[in-house]
Amino acid sequence: MLWSKMFIPTLREDPASVEAASHRLLVRAGYIRQLTAGVYSLLPLAQRVRLKVMNIIRQEMESIGAQEFLLPALQPMELWEESGRKETVAEIMFQLTDRKGSSLALGLTHEEVFTSIARATLNSYRQLPQIWYQMQTKFRDEARPRGGLLRTREFTMKDSYSFDLDESGLDQSFQRHAQAYDRIFRRCGLNFLPVQADSGAMGGSASTEYMVLTDCGEDSLVTCSNCQYAANIERAQALASVAHVDEETINLETFDTPGVRTIRDLEKFAGATATNQIKTLIYEHDGRLSLVLLRGDQELNEAKLIGALKCNQLRPADESRIFETMGAHAGSLGACGVRAGDGQKVSTILADERLRGRRNMVTGANKDDVHVRGVCLERDINVDRFLDLHKVHAGEACIECGGSLKLVTGLEIGHIFKLGTRYSESMNARVLQADGTRSPLLMGSYGIGVERLMAAVVEQNHDAKGMRWPMPLAPFQVIIVLLNSADEKQRGVAQRLYSELTGAGVDTLLDDRDERAGVKFNDSELIGVPLRITVGKKAASGIVELFDRFSLQNIDLEVEEALVRVKTRCQEQ
């Protein structure tokens, strides 16, 4: 391809008010243009990269026996009612009505449609396992699209779905995907980390996120400084310290605490350290109320609470509801003597694992400006369940090895889920087992955001001058910079290099423009071509310059030798 014929609208200046490096560089180097908030046009350079990514994904999906489909973006709303997910995803689902008045959704994911195909066509265990995938456009009405291709409202997703007879089959399909994902991300040149994750709106029993560590990510991750443990903060656990069960119990005693509203206030006022306080929170979920108890020094992890309550929606109860229920305002709440259950104002009392067995704690007395001390969890509070509800913080002990945990920021580029029977139950997708009974399919679902992956690669592969595409994704593997196209000798050498390389299947760009050398060098580095051959004055004596965009090394070589080196590097991938 000749640069003069190729559409590469580079900009001289960085685009305004852009933060992420990938966003800045993709716009400036002429890869993408915004059409409207969170919606981008991919220009030819970006589409070349996208096709290479999709090709790698296709190869790896086929290597695990996955079969390619193409499902519609337009989906009848009834499917989402059937699966019971319509409300959960309503906020980010684009909805529309057709000329006949039917309600349609633009697919934000395809569990429902694939399950509807499976239930109509898969009848027997003999047809299992199946892995079905597509690379298709997803639509999500994100509240805050951002960062160019990092979070958009329309994007290409590789989504796959596995259908198995039983848990061990699902384990295998899940493992195969984990292996395929490892290979895909490695071939794309990414430095990534699989982490344990929360399943969120997808439902299901287990999931792994593939994260790229970068400050432009939106996920907080917990990693161990000693072992391989890594988890999304929503899911991360830490070792619970053992309660002081040998401590002598004291009696309950209320005491006035005028103006005390916070854990910190109470520390100062009554000398009760945060670790000796019980924090009492009240949450509304699907119309009901629950009390949530944490140690005073801990924060609630809402994702864990959603998982525990198996609810669709969750929010802190508002002030008036709190007062009406507890008889006091936030700041003086406590769970001593509260009864929960059917017919009660509060449906359940949950406490973090770290409160189990604790004695002589301080908490609110459900009377404004009054607290109570001497609280023993087992004796004074009707806890329905102790479970892990707290948000891990840096320095806690790793649940696997006891090592010290760290917090880092990550960008999710892939996510694999064990869905189990979440969709096959609600949508009635069953198959005949070998013993003649019918049972729901065990499903998994697995996604990679294609354009986000491209942005992640740029985040990890750039310098001050521009992008540095890993060889397997580069829109062009090599660029030939012809310095003086009026010089017959130079033109001849450039032309020969170009024909030999394109003939050998190397994606080659020939910069034949009438521009200064500096402009050409800068542009080639900005768009991130991994190798550059400069054809200048030395071409007269058969010498060209080979520049490596990664090592930044520049060496003079004879034309023949340059050809050999470039071909070798391009075929290595």
The CB-of-408 to its own copies minimum distance in angstroms stands at 31
Can you tell me the distance from the alpha carbon of 439 to that of 552, in angstroms, rounded to the nearest whole number? 60
Nearest CA to 203 out of 447, 422, 445 is that of: 422
Question: Considering Cα of 229, then 231, then 233, then 235, what sign does the dihedral take?
Answer: negative
Residue 65 vs 341, nearer CB to its own copies: 65
> Tokens 């040149």 — which residue?
189
Residue 42 vs 293, nearer CB to its own copies: 42
Residue 121 vs 225, nearer CB to its own copies: 121
Start-end of H helices in 404-487? 422-426, 450-460
Can you tell me the distance from the alpha carbon of 469 to that of 453, in angstroms, rounded to the nearest whole number? 12
Which of these ranges, 131-139, 209-217, 228-236, 340-348, lies near its own copies under the rule CB under 8 A? 131-139
Out of 15, 18, 44, 495, the only residue in the binding site for its own copies (CB under 8 A) is 44
# of chain residues touching its own copies (CB under 8 A): 54
The CB-of-107 to its own copies minimum distance in angstroms stands at 10
434 binds its own copies (CB under 8 A): no
Can you tell me the distance from the alpha carbon of 350 to that of 362, in angstroms, rounded to the nearest whole number? 17
The CB-of-9 to its own copies minimum distance in angstroms stands at 4
Residue 9 vs 327, nearer CB to its own copies: 9
Residue type, 484: N
400 binds its own copies (CB under 8 A): no
> Tokens 């997708």 — which residue?
429
Residues 159-188 that bind its own copies (CB under 8 A): none
Residue type, 442: L
The CB-of-75 to its own copies minimum distance in angstroms stands at 7
Residue 87 vs 253, nearer CB to its own copies: 87
Out of 25, 27, 42, 526, the only residue in the binding site for its own copies (CB under 8 A) is 42
State phi, psi for 486 to the nearest 5 degrees: -80, -15
Question: Is residue 15 within 8 Å of 29, Cβ to Cβ?
Answer: no
Close Cβ partners of 558 (under 8 Å, ≥ 6 residues apart): 542, 543, 544
139 binds its own copies (CB under 8 A): yes
The CB-of-44 to its own copies minimum distance in angstroms stands at 4
Pairing assessment for the beta strands 348-352 and 385-387 based on DSSP bridges: parallel
Residue type, 321: R
Give the CA distances from residue 515 to residues 4, 521, 529, 543, in Å, rounded to whole numbers and listed in that order: 11, 10, 18, 22
Out of 18, 82, 84, 141, the only residue in the binding site for its own copies (CB under 8 A) is 141
Residues 60-99 that bind its own copies (CB under 8 A): 65, 67-76, 91, 94-96, 98-99
The CB-of-138 to its own copies minimum distance in angstroms stands at 11
The CB-of-120 to its own copies minimum distance in angstroms stands at 7
Which of these ranges, 43-51, 278-286, 362-370, 385-393, lies near its own copies under the rule CB under 8 A? 43-51
Nearest CA to 407 out of 191, 223, 218 is that of: 223
Out of 50, 86, 177, 187, the only residue in the binding site for its own copies (CB under 8 A) is 50
317 binds its own copies (CB under 8 A): no
Can you tell me the distance from the alpha carbon of 472 to that of 184, in angstroms, rounded to the nearest whole number? 11
The CB-of-80 to its own copies minimum distance in angstroms stands at 13
Out of 108, 113, 195, 457, the only residue in the binding site for its own copies (CB under 8 A) is 113
The CB-of-228 to its own copies minimum distance in angstroms stands at 34
Question: Is residue 315 within 8 Å of 340, Cβ to Cβ?
Answer: no
The CB-of-27 to its own copies minimum distance in angstroms stands at 12
Can you tell me the distance from the alpha carbon of 541 to that of 324, in angstroms, rounded to the nearest whole number? 91
Strands of 114-246 (E only): list them: 130-139, 154-164, 192-196, 206-213, 219-224, 230-232
Residue 67 vs 344, nearer CB to its own copies: 67
Can you tell me the distance from the alpha carbon of 397 to that of 333, in angstroms, rounded to the nearest whole number? 30
Out of 26, 29, 46, 377, the only residue in the binding site for its own copies (CB under 8 A) is 46
Which of these ranges, 130-138, 208-216, 296-304, 452-460, lies near its own copies under the rule CB under 8 A? 130-138
Can you tell me the distance from the alpha carbon of 146 to that of 275, in angstroms, rounded to the nearest whole number? 39
Q: Which two tokens stand for residue 280?
A: 């009492």
Residue 206 vs 432, nearer CB to its own copies: 432
Close Cβ partners of 546 (under 8 Å, ≥ 6 residues apart): 531, 532, 533, 554, 555, 557, 562, 565, 566
Can you tell me the distance from the alpha carbon of 85 to that of 275, in angstroms, rounded to the nearest whole number? 39
469 binds its own copies (CB under 8 A): no
Mask of contacts with its own copies, 1-30, x by CB under 8 A?
----xxx-x---------------------
Out of 18, 89, 104, 243, the only residue in the binding site for its own copies (CB under 8 A) is 104
Residue 66 vs 170, nearer CB to its own copies: 66
Beta-carbon count within 10 A of 542 CB: 13
Residue 37 vs 555, nearer CB to its own copies: 37
Radius of gyration, CA atoms only, the chain: 30
Which of these ranges, 36-44, 164-172, 198-206, 223-231, lies near its own copies under the rule CB under 8 A? 36-44
DSSP 274: G
Out of 14, 41, 404, 499, the only residue in the binding site for its own copies (CB under 8 A) is 41
59 binds its own copies (CB under 8 A): no
Biggest alpha carbon–alpha carbon distance for the chain: 99
State phi, psi for 425 to the nearest 5 degrees: -70, -55
Residue 122 vs 282, nearer CB to its own copies: 122
Task: Summarize as ranges the residues that interact with its own copies (CB under 8 A).
Answer: 5-7, 9, 33, 35-37, 39-44, 46-48, 50-51, 65, 67-76, 91, 94-96, 98-100, 102, 104, 106, 113, 116-117, 120-121, 130, 132, 134, 137, 139, 141, 143, 153-154
